[in-house]
Amino acid sequence: MKLTNLVVGPIQTNCYIVEDAGETIVIDPGDEADKILEVLDGRPVKEIVLTHCHFDHVSALSALEEATGAPAAMSAVDAPRVDGQSVDGGHDIARGHGAPHIDRLLHEGDEVSVGECTFSVIETPGHTPGSICLYCASEGVLFAGDTLFAHGGYGRTDFEDGSFHDIVASMRDKLSGLPGDTIVFSGHGPRSTMRYEKHVNEYLHAN
């Protein structure tokens, strides 16, 4: 698996381009579509996956859909805030393109595959009701979106529809059991490992 991490937009969102065995997916095209397309360099995109609905994770989706023709996938819970919507929370998420379209609605246990790598969808509500993480056991990789951040951090829950109770339950019940050597790639900031986060994040102490 080859991973390219682009930092895009005003809130320094991590957009990930994941390639394996000739296939490519894009996770969280938050902004700066031109920069993402430059890295893709004309390679076909199998799927665009969104960890949640916030504007800083989806604002290059319309442009990427138009440029690549790739289908988009996200949680069924968050999808209504993106699918067919040009504005979310006062933010222009279409950026002069047509409204984005969500082609596949994801649920707990669904799979996102790229080449030989298969990611399982883990529903981790809290930051938004439809926040998801993507976990690939064979590669030991977790894309955590804005649920989990490096150095003991976790997503804000003071936005509309956020829930501190839910994000704590998501970390404790859904993430704390992942192997220590899992590499955590978050929606913002540096990467980490589950082993380190279990030491510093009190909500991951369950296991």
| Residues binding Zn ion (CB under 5 A) | 54, 146
Chain centre distance of CA 1:
17
Q: Which of 21, 129, 39, 144 lies closest to 79, judged by CA?
A: 129
Q: How many CB atoms lie within 10 A of CB 34?
A: 10
Compare residues 167 and 178 and give the one whose CB is closer to Zn ion.
167
Compare residues 40 and 121 and give the one whose CB is closer to Zn ion.
121
d(CA 127, CA 90): 18
Q: Tell me the closest approach of the beta carbon of residue 57 to Zn ion, in angstroms.
A: 6
Compare residues 31 and 146 and give the one whose CB is closer to Zn ion.
146
Residue nearest to Zn ion (CB): 54
Q: Tell me the closest approach of the beta carbon of residue 19 to Zn ion, in angstroms.
A: 25
Q: Tell me the closest approach of the beta carbon of residue 121 to Zn ion, in angstroms.
A: 17
Q: E-strand spans in the chain?
A: 2-8, 13-20, 23-27, 47-49, 72-75, 87-88, 91-92, 104-106, 111-114, 117-123, 132-136, 141-145, 148-149, 153-154, 183-186, 192-193
Q: Tell me the closest approach of the beta carbon of residue 52 to Zn ion, in angstroms.
A: 6
Compare residues 28 and 197 and give the one whose CB is closer to Zn ion.
28
Compare residues 13 and 24 and give the one whose CB is closer to Zn ion.
13
Sole residue written with tokens 């082609």: 103
Backbone angles phi, psi at 192, to 5 degrees: -150, -170
Q: Tell me the closest approach of the beta carbon of residue 167 to Zn ion, in angstroms.
A: 11
